[in-house]
Structure 1
Amino acid sequence: VLFTSRDASHYQQGQGTQLLHEIALMLPELLERWIERV
């Protein structure tokens, strides 16, 4: 996932790590469900 802005000061260092953390927590279970269906 990539978020960009033309404004160099729009995003700050470390911003968005919560979203990545939540995705990392959900992804294994979602993949497991998907693999079981196949």
Structure 2
Amino acid sequence: MDFRKILVMIGFTFEISKTKILTINRNYGNQYST
């Protein structure tokens, strides 16, 4: 197992989940603001 590959995969999934959370928060904010 290549540790660098594992770290890249972890970082990639973390970035995706972070952007998902940001978009979800933005959608909720738009719902409540209108």
Give the TM-score of the pair, scaled to structure 1.
0.40
Give the TM-score of the pair, scaled to structure 2.
0.42
Highest relative contact order (Cα 8 Å, sep 6+), 1 or 2? 1
